[in-house]
Structures are given as structure tokens and as C-alpha cells.
Amino acid sequence: MTRFDRWVTVLSLLVAAEFVVCWRYDWTEVLDALLPSVYGPLSTILLRQYLALFAALAAGVGLALPTLAAADALQRLLARPLTWRSAVVVVSVGLGTLCVTFGNRHFGGYDLSVLVDVAWRYARGQRPYSDFICTLPPAFFVPPGLVFRVFGPSWDSLLALHALLTAAVTAVTCVLLDRLGVPRWLALLLSVATQVISPALTAHWWHSVQAQQAGLVYVLATLLLARAPHRPGRLALYAASLAALLATKVNLVAVLLLVVAPVALWTPSWRRVLLVHAAAITLLASALVAAGVSPVGMLAAYRAIAGRSLPRFGFPPESLLGWHYAFVALATALASWSAVVCWRRGEHRTVLICLGGVASALYAMATNWDTRFNDYPLALFSVTFLAWTATNGEEGQRRRLIPSIALLWVCITVGLVLGHARHRNRHVGYATFFEWNYQAGTIDHPFFAHLRAGPRLHRVVRSADRLLAAEQGTVFFGPRLEFMYAMFERPSPRGLPIWWHAGTSFPLADTALVADRWSRARFDLLVFLRDDDSRMPAEVIDRIRRDHVRDQGDPELTVWRRR
């Protein structure tokens, strides 16, 4: 065995060790035991995060070297049409199945209640932006609402929808990368990495994830269009991808429109492409009107929370130094090197499109209240595509792909480990439904037919079921419990936000108006998690105490009855 082979073996063993430790245990608890807080909380957090990063990078290199060594054999195997199509189908279905499997582990009450309630409202005929305060993009609530309307409310239906979208985006990514000339083995690896690090890690329908998926297809469509702007099929693909993108999260859309869309117009056929932009906008507006969504209301809602577009790298203070941003630094460094090489080779439009993808991902990370990995796929794709373009056709240059391939394997490793550990739900609700231990069996309610959760969610659902069985009046569910409107098929209140976070779920200046609307609703029964009124305005809490009497009888819920 050569020295090179021995290094590959050692690094591969590091991969196996990382998988075993991270899969079986919470890696932060393991490192806590090894590294007690001697230097203070921030130092310990950073040390733990960077040790985890270095372990993941070692794992990536350990898998990148044998992957590159087997590239020619893999390409010959995938050159057969049946093998290629079968591989795309297996990978797509596998990723969709992974989303359902991970998604049925734990439930994050704060964020996922938003998803369930907005879908329930839409399914019941409430009009977004007019019947209730909504600051979310239409792509987030229209498909789940239609699923609820057709199949009835259930968590499984939302997971199936997310799995179908992930499988479809995976297949489309593979096909479009193949059309761009990317080797098929790399197309499969890149498609898997972009869908594992965000959709599989998150494992539920979510607007940040959809924005990345739509942005990925849009960037691919733009790359194809830049090579042949006269082909009708590519123009149609570009129009469809742009229309889908415009229906997603506005912070990502804004950067892509500012950076990538002008590159699409950089062609002698720019008039035709400009007409395609107009067709995409018309297509989106028509689809929104057909779905009962007001385009004017959508734009007004975005304008009302425009302050959310300001970067928030320092929230919380240590996040700028966290390992998420080490990924950003690595991606930016790789993109910079590849961009210089590609620019010198005359690949100007490719460079600008891919740098637009990196910029949009960085801006999304800076402005979203979310786990940063949700916003990473576009950066990961852009870096890898630039690196492949920089080495394509150059003899002896394939080894320069090692950093990019290693990054793909790192992201696959991180996505699988954090997805299995339900990092996304832990991130938004530790001890409020997220618990490391599972209660045996599933929750005794058809809405969560296959969900495995901790003991607290089981107890809360049982308590709410007993309480609501004898109550026929109007009900208000507090933070983290809004999903119960759909679960118990109770009407969601009109005129109020779908979750409570002033400045995000409704304009900060409208707080007094929201409090007045809440008072006029005159709810008979208020149901909160025990002593949890997270982010509700003080004006509303004062009116609760003034107009309602607290029922002290339930250990899991705080119940208020109208005086």
C-alpha cells in the first residue's frame, strides 16, 4: 500500500468514526464532556464548533480522494442511458424518503405551527394578505393549502409534499447538469449534496428551503440560456423557473434578480429574453389570481416588513464566528480562485451567474432567522460548478477538484447527521417539544399518525384533546400551539397574524391595531403552553389578564376563560 493509499485509509476511518459518534450521540454533548468550559462560554462554543468543522473536513477529504480516483469508472458506468436514468430515479426517491423519515422525528412548535396554520387557513377559504396578516411568500402556503383541501389536514401530507418537491428538484438538477456537460458522477454527487444540506436537514416544507430550490433551478436555467438563448425549450424553462422563483422568499429573489437576471439579458437576443421576463411575471400573476392570492397584497406585505432585509450576522453575537460561517469562508475562497481562472478563459457569464448564486446565499444567511445551512445550497452549487468549469478540458487539472468534492462530502455528512438528530427542531424549540428521548409509539391523534416525539408533545396533545372535547366556544391557541387549529379542525381567527413576532409576522407599527383586533375577537377560551406567551405583544398580554380568568387545573397548558 502506498503512502497515498494509507492516508486515504486513515481519513476514511475518520469518516466512519465521525458518523458513529455523531449518529449515536449529540456531538455537542460529546465535545462538552471532552472540553469543559474552562475559558468561558463563547470560547468553548467556538472551540467545539471548529473541532466539529475540522472533523467534517477530514471526512470530506477522506471520501473525496477515492471518489476522484473512481471518477472514470463511474462515468463509464453512468454513460449507459438505462443506468443513468435508474441512478437519477433511485437518488431522487431516496432523498424524498429521507425527508419523510427525518420529518417524522420531532415537531418544532414555533415554526411548524406557522406552516400548519397558514395551510389550514388557505384550505378553509381564508384569503392571504386580506383575511389574515401574512408576510410569507405564496409558494409557502398555496401548495400545502391545496393538499389540506384535497386530502384533509395531516402532518404526513405536508411531509409527502416536501418529499415530492425534493425528489423533483433532485431529478431536474441532475438532468440540467448533464445538459451543461457536467460529468454524470459529479452531477449526482452535487445534486445529492445540495438537497441533503438543506431540504433533508430541515425535513419539512419551509420557505427558506423552497427559495434555495427554486433559485438552484433558476441559476441552472440561466446557465443553459446563456449558452443557447435562441432555443425555445430553454426560453420556456427560464420563464417557468423565474415565475417559480418570484413566488418564493423575497430576500433571495432580490439578489438573484439584481445579479443573475441582467446576465440573462447579456446576449444579442436580449429583446426575446426581455419578453420572456414579462411572460414569467404574467404567468406568476395569473397563477396567483387563480389561486385566490392578491399580487398587490403580496407586494404590500413585503413592503411592510422591509426592515427585515437588513443583515443580522451578529444575532446571536457569537454566530458570526460560528462554524456555519467557516463554510461560507471556504466557499468564498474556492469561488474566488475558480472565478479568476474562468474569467481568464472567457467564461464571463458563467462567472457572473455563479457569483450571483454565492451572493444570494450569503445575503440569505445574513437576513434569515434560521439555521444557516438552509441557505447554503446555492453557494455550494455555484462553487462546485465554477471549480468544474475551471478544470474542464485541462489535462492533469482534475486534482484541483478535490477541495470542491471534499466540500460536497462534508455537506452530505453534516446534512445526514444534523437531519437525523433533528438539529432544525432543536434549533427552534429545545425542551418545547424537542427532547432527546422519544416516547414509545406515535401520538394518539390522526393528525400525527406516524410522528415520533418526546413525552411532552404527547402530554400536551392529550391535555388539549380532553380540554377541547367539552368546549364549543371560540378558541385562541397561543405560541407553539397554532397547529392545533388544524389538528382539532377549529377555525383560525381572522384579522390576526399567523404567529407572534412583531416586525416579522406583522409590521411593528401595527402592534396597537393587532391588539385591538385581538380584543374585538372576544375569544371564549385561550390555550397556551404552560407559562409560554413567547413574543406576544405586551398590549395583548395586558388585555388577556384584564378580560380573562386563568384556570389553574392543567399541568401542561395555561388556560384562560372569558370573565
pTM (global) more than 0.85: yes
Of 47-61, 64-78, 289-303, the poorest mean pLDDT is in 47-61
Which amino acid is residue 452, in one-letter code? R
**Cα separation of 259 and 245, whole Å?**
14
Q: What is the pLDDT of residue 557?
A: 92
What residue spans define the domains of the chain? 3-103+135-429, 446-562
In 123-225, the DSSP E strands lie at none
Contacts of 128 (CB under 8 A, 6+ apart): 118, 121, 122, 134, 136, 138, 141, 293, 294, 297, 298
Question: Between the CA of residue 432 and those of 242, 280, 461, 535, 550, what are the distances in Å?
Answer: 38, 42, 13, 15, 21
* pLDDT value at 140 more than 80: yes
Task: For residue 179, give the 3-state DSSP assignment.
Answer: helix
Contacts of 309 (CB under 8 A, 6+ apart): 250, 251, 254, 367
CA angle 118/123/127 to nearest 5° reads: 70
**Cα separation of 78 and 75, whole Å?**
5
Comparing 60 with 546, which gets the higher pLDDT?
Answer: 546
Task: For residue 434, give the 3-state DSSP assignment.
Answer: strand
Q: What is the mean pLDDT of residues 272-278?
A: 92
Q: What is the pLDDT of residue 560?
A: 92
* pLDDT value at 355 more than 70: yes
**Cα separation of 312 and 370, whole Å?**
11
Give the pLDDT confidence of 203-215 residue by residue, as tens digits. Answer: 999 999 999 999 9
Question: Between the CA of residue 560 and those of 46, 256, 517, 551, what are the distances in Å?
Answer: 43, 47, 18, 6
Q: What is the pLDDT of residue 290?
A: 94
Task: For residue 133, give the 3-state DSSP assignment.
Answer: strand
Q: What is the mean pLDDT of residues 334-342?
A: 81
**Cα separation of 274 and 267, whole Å?**
11
**Cα separation of 77 and 454, whole Å?**
45
